[in-house]
Amino acid sequence: MEKAAFKWAIIASAVIGFGACALAQDIDVGKIEYLSSCAACHGADGKGKGPFGAALKSAPTDLTVLSKKNNGVFPVNAVYEVVDGRTAIGSHGTREMPIWGYRYRPPEAYRLKQADDYVYSPPASPEGVVHGRILAVIDYLNRIQEK
């Protein structure tokens, strides 16, 4: 009887574990980053109609036509430099204080610490964390481009 119970416990654990893996694969990190940092102005659909967009002096850019405006090629480097603050966008704020704070700042501009909002791993480079966030947003924006 104990062997059968143990066998079913192993099977149940495997099923639960595989289910959790399937759920983890469904997480769209780029979309989550976009919705938490960009959608307030650019809209959940990226078309520039976010709830805070009307309060800005200039209308937010429609992020779904970046490829169309660049001869069908998504401008990865240009978008990266806007997100990390190297290319100044007036409504994003100054380089010292972009609208999204330090979430996407170039890592040499500051040192991340344990209290910051990511999983802290002492030997890890903060540059990788910031770079990953930016690439996730860029990947998502690339996927929502109009054809």
Residue 47 backbone phi and psi in degrees, to 5: -90, 5
Tell me which of 67 and 131 has the higher pLDDT.
67
Q: What percent of the chain is modeled with pLDDT above 70?
A: 58
pLDDT at res. 24? 58
pTM of the model: 0.67
Check pLDDT > 60 for residue 113.
Answer: no
Confidence band, pLDDT 50/70/90 cuts, at residue 127: confident
For the chain, helix (H) and strand (E) counts, in that order, are 5, 0
What per-residue confidence (pLDDT) applies to 82? 87
Which has the higher per-residue pLDDT, 118 or 57? 57
Burial of 76 (0-12, 13-18, 19+ CB in 10 A): middle
Identify the band that residue 97 occupies on the pLDDT scale cut at 50, 70 and 90.
very low
